[in-house]
Structures are given as C-alpha cells and as structure tokens.
Amino acid sequence: MTDAESKIAPRSDTSTLPGGHVTLGTDRPLRLDCGVEMRDFAVAYQTYGTLNADKSNAIVVCHALTGDQYVSGIHPVTGREGWWDALVGPGKTLDTDHYFILCANILGGCMGTIGPKETNPATGKPWGLDFPVITVGDMVRAQVMVLDHLGIEQVFAVIGGSLGGMQVLEWAASYPERVFAAIPIACAAHQSAQNIAFHEVGRQSIMADPEWCGGAYQSQGKNPHRGLAVARMTAHITYLSEPALHRKFGRRLQDRDVVTFGFDADFQVESYLRHQGSTFVERFDANSYLYITRAMDYFDLEEKHKGVLADAFRDTPVRFCVVSFTSDWLYPTAECRRIVHALNGVAANVSFAEIISDNGHDSFLLDEPEFHKVLRGFLIGAAEHRGLPRVSP
C-alpha cells in the first residue's frame, strides 16, 4: 500500500464545483424504492453544447460506478480529461455542435449530488450508513426530475455504459415516452452472480478497514483509503481483459532487471494496479462505493417484470442500439444479446453491434474506432427520424 500511504480525503465540499446544481424534491419528494421519501436534495450536473429552441436535441449521458458528470474537457478535481472526452465534444461522435449533452452525478455519488458523504440535515453530520440504500430506478427518477427542472419533455437519446447502460435500460423501460433513442452499452438487464461476488469483495475490503468506522469515518476524521484502494484494484482487473493485460504488461518487470525476492511491486502490472488504487481514493468516497455497487447488484429488470424481460419493453416506441465488446467478461455479449432478444420479442426497433476489441469492459471508455462508427451511424439515423438537423457523418 506504499503508494496510498499518504492520508487522502476526497474533496468534501462539492457545492462549489463548476456546473449546474439543483435542489429537487422541494414541491414533491422523490419516493425511493426502499420506501424513504427524499426531500430538498441536491443534484449536480454538467452540460455541453446548446439546447435548441424546441428542446429536442438533448442527450442524457449516464455515468458508470466511478464516473461523474464531468464527461468531457478537463475534470475540475482530477485535472485529467473527462471519462468520455474521446466521445463528447465539438465534431466528436456525441457532437456538441449539434446536441445538448447532459450528465448528472448519480444519486449516492460523491461529486455534488446527494450521497452518503453529504450532510444529513436531521443530524448535521454526514449521512454515512444512515443514507438510504438507493437503486438504479431511483437514480433515473432523479434524472427525470432534472429534466423536468430544465423543461425538457423528451430527450433525443439516453446513452451510457456499464451502470450507465443499466440506467439507459431503466430509462427506456420506465419512461418510454420521454426517450426517443436508447443506447445501452456493455451492460446487462440484471447483475450476474459473479459480478455481485466481485462487488461484495470490494465492499468487504472497505468495511474491513478499521478506518471505515462503521461508515462514520468522516465524523471521526478517518478515511478507509486502504480498503477502498484494494476494492478499486480488484474491480480494475475485471474492467480489463487477460489479452489486454498480457499485451500491456505481460510479465515485464518495473524499473528492474531481475526480481527482488520481496513484496515490492516487481511486476509492471502490480505497479499499475497500485497506481489505480492510490489515484482512485483521491477522488472517490468509500461509502459511495458501497451504495452504488449495491444499486448495481439490486438491478434486475427481469425480476421487476415478473421474470419476463420482454415485458419491460412491450409496445415501446424507443429505438435501441445495444453495444457489447468481445473481450468484456464483466458484461459479456451474451448478456447484451438477452436484452436484444427481449426487444426482438416485442418487435422493438433495435440495432445490435458486438465490437471486436481486446480492451475488455473498459472498451466503452476508449477511442475504439468501430464503436464510435456504430454510435455515429445510429445517431445520424435516429436524428433523421426525429427531424433534427442533419449531422455530417
């Protein structure tokens, strides 16, 4: 844990971060799936491009577990490029010269939207584990409230990968009239046992850290950064693929010619993972990690529709583009095919593309030319049907 030894706390005051901040649930509370009613809660969001006069060019981007609303450009906290900078910007696949891109930090997140690290008004202390357990459905309902706030009746498209893809499915299933096109990427209609298992070891890693303090680490001036780093390292392996790890690192040693016969990071892959762990804890909240992984584990569109996934999409007017990647073993093509089969079963308008890539689950974050080509093609076709001005291909 050498790299992460230094005490690091994620920036706690996120209200001053750039972008939109809105307080929702003032008139009408958000009723969470767990039964709790949420009032007067903050959602932070970021927009790119310009909303057109008839508010028909909005694309909602749904971020993944460790993402946030800073999709493009330089991230205000990390100083690095946004997580989808390759995709979002002027002239890019999600062309901000034509579309109005909106991304909101998800419920339970730690970048300005209400989550376990924010202050519980009832106690004046951080929520910690008193924060209600949220679901993907709750996340999407909060996003719909943001759209209501902005006066956007129907979005042109909803797009996202991984947990973002789950949100896209939830959007299409719960608000079909408010979505013209839906692009779920590298995701599944329910979380598999293996994925629940990987999340569980991540959570146990955090909860095993004495500095977690039963979730009350903020009040006690602690930070379970060691546990969170290990959780991130484990998860990071699942985001890549064996061939990519072999290609990038193989058994190459880190700044040495021979092994040291010790427990230092002899191999490049060890050094890389330690770096992933230590940089992650600088920007992410451990309790948020617990809550968001829990929401993913609970996600099951099939169970929600009494075991018939197709019923989630019966009579849907939404156009779908489902994308998977050959080397993604977290949300493999078979899971995406299940979604496509369900959509086919209700005669929905659906395109499906499996992109050949050895970059694993992370492919959806990378500059994969075929992936971008598929998205661009689908968006141009959908924009034409929606009557949006033509985007040059």
Segment 10 to 39, residues that bind its own copies, using CB under 8 A: 33-35
Specify whether 361 is catalytic: yes
Yes or no: say if 126 and 218 are a contact pair by the CB < 8 Å rule.
yes
**Dihedral Cα 287, 288, 291, 293, nearest 10 deg:** -110
Residue given tokens 């209200």 in the structure block: 15
Closer CB to its own copies, residue 62 or residue 273?
Answer: 273
Give the whole-angstrom CA distance, residue 57 versus residue 348.
22
Give the whole-angstrom CA distance, residue 159 versus residue 61.
5
Give the whole-angstrom CA distance, residue 211 versus residue 206.
9
Quick one: which segment of 110-118, 141-149, 150-158, 184-192 binds its own copies (CB under 8 A)? 184-192
E-state strands within 285-334: 319-325
Closer CB to its own copies, residue 74 or residue 259?
Answer: 259
Instruction: Return the amino acid letter for 82.
Output: G
CB of 341 to its own copies, least distance (A): 17
Q: ∠ CA(280), CA(251), CA(5), 5° rounding? A: 30
Using rule CB under 8 A, residue 194 touches its own copies = yes
Closer CB to its own copies, residue 204 or residue 220?
Answer: 204
Closer CB to its own copies, residue 303 or residue 384?
Answer: 303
Specify whether 162 is catalytic: yes
Number of Cα atoms under 13 Å in the Cβ half of residue 277: 27
Quick one: which segment of 47-55, 105-113, 271-279, 376-384 binds its own copies (CB under 8 A)? 271-279
For residue 20, the surrounding DSSP H or E stretch is: strand 20-24
In the list 251, 256, 341, 385, the residue contacting its own copies (rule: CB under 8 A) is 251
The number of beta carbons lying within 10 Å of the beta carbon of residue 385 is 11
> Which of 63, 68, 138, 162 is labelled catalytic?
162
Binding mask 142-181 for its own copies (x = CB under 8 A): ----------------------------------------
Using rule CB under 8 A, residue 274 touches its own copies = yes
Tokens encoding 208: 């095993």
Strands 58-62 and 100-104 turn out to be parallel
Strands 100-104 and 41-48 turn out to be antiparallel
Closer CB to its own copies, residue 22 or residue 208?
Answer: 208
> Which of 328, 357, 362, 363 is labelled catalytic?
328
Polymer length of the chain: 393
Using rule CB under 8 A, residue 282 touches its own copies = no
Specify whether 271 is catalytic: no
In the list 75, 145, 227, 324, the residue contacting its own copies (rule: CB under 8 A) is 227
> Which of 225, 361, 362, 363 is labelled catalytic?
361
Least Cα distance to 357 among 323, 315, 317 occurs for: 323
CB of 160 to its own copies, least distance (A): 22
Give the whole-angstrom CA distance, residue 203 versus residue 328.
22
Using rule CB under 8 A, residue 126 touches its own copies = no
In the list 30, 103, 140, 269, the residue contacting its own copies (rule: CB under 8 A) is 269
Give the whole-angstrom CA distance, residue 44 versus residue 14.
9
Tokens encoding 143: 């996003």
What number of chain residues touch its own copies (CB under 8 A)? 58
User: Which residues belong to the active site?
Assistant: 162, 328, 361
**Sites of contact with its own copies (CB under 8 A):** 1, 33-35, 129, 132-133, 190-194, 196-198, 200-201, 203-205, 207-210, 226-227, 229-230, 233-234, 237, 240, 242, 245-246, 248-251, 259, 261-263, 265-267, 269-270, 273-274, 277, 290, 294, 297-298, 300, 303, 329
